[in-house]
């Protein structure tokens, strides 16, 4: 009987001290369960037959027959062998395994190493945590006859890391469809091993985009790209991502395209001269460091950020990486090292111009020392300052921006004192006074100071606010999750007076300034819609000029209680500026700004921003974004972006689960100003036993460039759920 074999082994180990020490002098003994169990004491062997189970150090070995050496922990198993350890399962006719060294050898094997199933011959340990398999077959399909498989002449398995395959053939069923010289599969389910996207675009022609990812080490991965486009030519590149423990990470990226048709109709109308040999290079790195003056280390209070971008021409990102282009039109290069203390920060920033066609304010370099608002001893006086020094150069690139002129060594410092107080127990009053100055080693022609100039300025200001609130604890609605209501209203006002500096903004170079863009109707729009009044938060220091302004407004919140915490159902804020002294062309009041955020449920959010010109009676800007979702069944988002005399965009994105295995997604964007349907995108996603398949089409209307139409088909493995439609950073779903 099975219990008898187990009892006899435990009896021998417990009763015979010599054998117990030999079995495992460091801890618990191995446990053997079998229908028949015999011992050879002189050879330290336990031999089990019939449904044998050996358990030791978290590993479980099952077989028809197992011979186990108590001294070496070596096991030889035969017949229906199954080994489970560390989330892995290995099945073989016969196996040799050492429970102590974890070395194993099998002449024929079938194993599950999450998320892949491995079949092969002659598995043996080739390193401390590495296994070699000859004639390996790998798949994520758990069917008896896999729907697809990768066949390799040899493979290497690194548990909890990766599987390397060499001389690989991809088979769908029994049909060979693709060959790879080498392939790597991540056992962490976080890397796309290989992806192929096929489609047709009016911009690219017929295209095939391929990418293959190799986990070179635990924290290093390499993705290689090889793309072909009938209208544009061949492109190739690689991305290298890495991590340095918990304190650093980065990415190196390069891409080259031999472009047979670099210019389209829009480029020719704009007079662009784009090269046929096009490329991009990028290095991004982040690192947390210890302070050099802290020998003990461990603080990690120094942060290094690096972003280097080198492009062959201004359009390569738009042409081949449209998703990135929508996020950043002109990628810049910057190195920033910042040391942060409890109430200060010290940073060094270098920002060179590596792409001569973009406008850039070069900082070569600039050092900034800032002190946060800090109390001065026991007195209720607070001090803050901002000091910076560096060499700055305005490089206009291929633009004709008149503000991108001049270069100088600039020294700037600003110091401020404030005295927070509370009057009558409810009114917060914070008066402030500050002074500063800026020196420039070079001056524009408009300056009266000659080759160099400097200016001093000072300010006086006061900020006030108070809160009013009322509660309704009796308001209850279980369906709407309302557990009482509280309304909070906070009027605020902020006054600031800055006399005209001895040199105005038109008499110094404009490095950090308020820049504007020209809208379609000819109006100028500031890139910063509204600037903070307070210094040093107002950091466009070269634009400092006389100011006599009162900003006032009202903040409101409607709250309830959920899960024991306050929940904001509604947030409303509005403000405007009253100009006690105004420039030519200005009104007494600025535009009125307002924001509204509604969030009655976690699945429903509405955000709104508006800007209204009261004297002219015109709505200058109005943006909305609303999103509602029904769990994993459906989601709808609606948005609008209105700029007077420029555009009136309306967007819709929606997703609906049509079936357990089918999801329909769409994205629409229309300009209501002129009726142009700028973008239409439809994607149907299918989930099969092994694959996630996407069928997509997109039409993109452009006013200057030619319209784009793209149809594509993409397949990714279901076992790697983070795989998307982005191949090599190229947004296939966006029609590129």
Tens of pLDDT, residues 56-71: 888 899 999 999 988 8
Asked whether the beta carbons of 683 and 653 are under 8 A apart, the reply is: no
* Most confidently predicted of 267-281, 659-673, 685-699: 659-673
Q: Tens digit of pLDDT for each residue in 222-236?
A: 899 999 999 999 999
Sign of the dihedral defined by the CA atoms of residues 526, 529, 534, 540, in that order: negative
- CA–CA separation, 234 and 253 (whole Å): 17
251 confidence band (pLDDT: 50, 70, 90): very high
My answer on whether 79 and 113 are in the same domain is: no
Question: Do 41 and 3 belong together in one domain?
Answer: yes
User: Is 128 among the domain residues?
Assistant: yes
Q: Are 70 and 131 part of one and the same domain? A: no
Q: Tell me which DSSP letter residue 589 carries.
A: B
Handedness of CA 480, 486, 487, 492 (dihedral sign): negative
Rg (CA), the chain: 34
99, 132, 166: which is the final residue of a domain? 99
pLDDT tens readout for residues 379-411: 899 999 999 999 999 998 887 777 788 899 999
Cβ count near 127 (within 10 Å): 10
Q: Positive or negative, the Cα torsion across 437, 439, 444, 447?
A: positive
**How many whole angstroms separate alpha carbon 634 and alpha carbon 657?**
6
Contacts 24+ apart (CB under 8 A), 34-40: 34/2, 34/5, 34/6, 34/66, 35/1, 35/2, 35/5, 36/5, 37/4, 37/5, 37/6, 37/8, 37/9, 39/9, 39/12
What is the per-residue pLDDT for 690?
A: 76
The reported pLDDT for the residue numbered 719 is 67
Q: Are strands 468-477 and 482-498 parallel, antiparallel or unpaired?
A: antiparallel
User: What is the average per-residue pLDDT within 95-119?
Assistant: 82
State which residues form the domain around 13: 1-99
Structure tokens at 302: 């120094």
Q: Which residue has the higher pLDDT, 301 or 10?
A: 301
How high is the pLDDT of residue 40? Answer: 87
Which of residues 47, 68, 99 is at a domain's end? 99
- Whether 450 maps to a domain, the answer reads no
- Asked if residue 88 is part of any domain, the answer here is yes
The rounded distance, in Å, linking the Cα atoms of 523 and 511 is: 23
Q: Which residues neighbour 328 within 8 Å (Cβ) at sequence distance 6 or greater?
A: none
Decide if 97 contacts 75 (C-beta within 8 A). Answer: yes
User: Which of 25-39, 355-369, 694-708 reaches the highest mean pLDDT?
Assistant: 355-369
Q: Pick 323 or 426 by higher pLDDT.
A: 426
Q: Residue 702: what pLDDT?
A: 75
Residue 214 pLDDT exceeds 60: yes
Determine, yes or no, domain membership for 45. yes
Residue 185 scores a pLDDT above 70:
yes
Cis before residue 365, ω within 30 degrees of 0?
yes
Contact yes or no for 334/364 (Cβ under 8 A): no
Write down which residue in 99, 123, 153 finishes a domain: 99
- Burial-class residue 694 by CB neighbours within 10 Å (0-12, 13-18, 19+): buried
At 116, list the tokens: 């892949």
**CB-based contacts of 602: which residues, under 8 Å, 6+ apart?**
none
pLDDT at 450: 66
Mark out the alpha helices in 469-531 (DSSP H runs): none
Averaged confidence pLDDT in the chain: 84
Position 42 in a domain: yes
Q: Same structural domain for residues 4 and 94? A: yes
Q: Model confidence at 526, in pLDDT bands (50, 70, 90)? A: low
Same domain, 81 and 155: no
Q: Are residues 111 and 183 in the same domain?
A: yes
Residue 725 lies in a domain: no
Q: Report the predicted TM-score, pTM, of the whole model to 2 decimal places.
A: 0.76
Q: Are 119 and 145 in contact (CB under 8 A)?
A: no
Predicted local confidence at residue 519, as pLDDT: 62
Counted domains in the chain: 2
Examine the domain organization and report whether 69 and 129 are in the same domain: no
More confident residue, 621 or 110: 621
How far apart (Å, rounded) are the C-alpha atoms in residues 674 and 652?
18
Q: What number is the average pLDDT over the span 607-632?
A: 91
Distance CA 734, CA 682 (A): 10
CB 458 within 8 A of CB 482: no
The answer to whether residue 711 is domain-embedded is: no
Same domain membership, residue 125 and residue 79: no
If asked whether residues 137 and 171 sit together in one domain, one would say yes
In a domain, 247, yes or no: no
Task: Please tell me the predicted confidence (pLDDT) of residue 524.
Answer: 61
């Amino acid at each position: 009987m099975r219990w008898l074999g187990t009892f006899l082994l435990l009896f021998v180990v417990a009763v015979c001290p010599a054998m117990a020490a030999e079995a495992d002098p460091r801890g618990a003994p191995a446990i053997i369960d079998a229908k028949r169990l015999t011992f050879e004491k002189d050879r330290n062997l336990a031999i089990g037959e019939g449904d044998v189970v050996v358990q030791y150090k978290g590993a479980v070995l099952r077989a028809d027959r197992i011979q186990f050496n108590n001294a070496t922990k070596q096991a030889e198993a035969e017949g229906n062998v199954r080994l489970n350890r560390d989330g892995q399962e290995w099945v073989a006719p016969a196996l040799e395994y050492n429970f102590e060294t974890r070395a194993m050898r099998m002449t024929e094997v079938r194993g599950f190493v999450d998320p892949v199933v491995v079949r092969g011959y002659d598995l043996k340990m080739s390193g401390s945590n590495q296994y070699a398999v000859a004639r390996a077959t790998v798949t994520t399909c758990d069917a008896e006859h896999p729907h697809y498989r990768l066949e390799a002449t040899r493979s290497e398995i690194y548990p909890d890391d990766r599987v390397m395959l060499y001389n690989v053939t991809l088979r769908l069923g029994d049909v060979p469809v693709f060959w790879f010289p080498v392939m790597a599969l991540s056992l962490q389910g976080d890397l796309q091993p290989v992806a192929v996207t096929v489609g047709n675009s009016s911009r690219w022609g017929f295209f095939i985009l391929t990418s293959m990812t190799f986990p070179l080490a635990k924290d290093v991965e390499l993705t290689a790209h090889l793309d072909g486009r009938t209208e544009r030519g061949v492109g190739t590149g690689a991305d290298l991502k890495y991590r340095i423990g918990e304190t650093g990470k980065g990415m190196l990226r390069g891409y080259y395209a031999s472009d047979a048709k670099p210019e389209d109709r829009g480029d020719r109308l704009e007079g662009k001269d784009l090269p046929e040999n096009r490329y991009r290079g990028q290095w991004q790195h982040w690192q947390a460091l210890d302070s050099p003056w802290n020998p003990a280390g461990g603080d990690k209070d120094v942060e290094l950020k690096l972003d280097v971008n080198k492009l062959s021409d201004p359009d390569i990102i738009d042409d081949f990486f449209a998703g990135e282009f929508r996020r950043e039109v002109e990628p810049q290069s910057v190195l920033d090292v910042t040391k942060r203390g409890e109430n200060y920060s010290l940073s060094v920033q270098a920002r060179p111009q590596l792409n001569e066609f973009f406008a850039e304010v070069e900082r070569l370099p600039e050092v900034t020392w800032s002190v946060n608002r800090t109390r001065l001893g026991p007195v209720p006086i607070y001090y803050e300052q901002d000091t910076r020094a560096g060499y700055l150069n305005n490089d206009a690139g291929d633009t004709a921006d008149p503000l991108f002129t001049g270069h100088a060594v600039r020294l700037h410092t600003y110091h401020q004192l404030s005295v927070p107080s509370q009057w009558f127990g409810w009114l917060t009053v914070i008066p402030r006074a500050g002074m500063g100055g800026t020196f420039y080693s070079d001056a524009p022609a408009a300056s009266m100071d000659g080759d160099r100039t400097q200016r001093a300025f000072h300010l006086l200001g006061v900020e006030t606010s108070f809160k009013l609130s009322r509660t309704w604890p009796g308001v209850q609605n279980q369906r709407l999750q309302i557990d009482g209501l509280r309304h909070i209203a906070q009027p605020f006002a902020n006054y600031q007076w800055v006399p005209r500096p001895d040199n105005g903004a038109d008499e110094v170079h404009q490095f950090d300034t308020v820049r504007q863009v020209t809208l379609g109707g000819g109006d100028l729009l500031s890139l910063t819609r509204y600037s903070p009044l307070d210094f040093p938060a107002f950091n466009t220091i070269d634009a400092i000029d006389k100011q006599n302004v009162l900003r006032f407004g009202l903040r409101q919140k409607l709250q309830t209680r959920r899960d024991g915490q306050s929940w904001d159902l509604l947030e409303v804020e509005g403000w405007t500026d009253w100009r006690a002294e105004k420039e030519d062309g200005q009104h007494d009041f600025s535009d009125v700004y307002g924001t509204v955020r509604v969030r009655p449920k976690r699945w429903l959010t509405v955000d709104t921003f508006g800007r209204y010109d009261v004297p002219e009676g015109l709505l200058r800007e109005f943006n909305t974004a609303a999103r509602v979702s029904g769990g994993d069944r459906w989601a709808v988002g609606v948005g609008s972006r209105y700029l007077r005399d420029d555009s009136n965009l309306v967007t819709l994105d929606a997703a609906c689960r049509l079936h357990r295995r089918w999801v329909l997604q769409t994205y629409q964007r229309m300009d209501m100003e002129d009726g142009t349907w700028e973008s239409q995108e439809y994607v149907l996603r299918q989930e099969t036993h092994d694959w996630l398949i996407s069928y997509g089409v997109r039409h993109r209307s452009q006013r200057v460039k030619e319209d784009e139409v793209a149809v594509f088909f993409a397949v990714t493995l279901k076992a790697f759920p983070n795989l998307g439609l982005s191949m090599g950073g190229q947004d296939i779903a966006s029609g590129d």
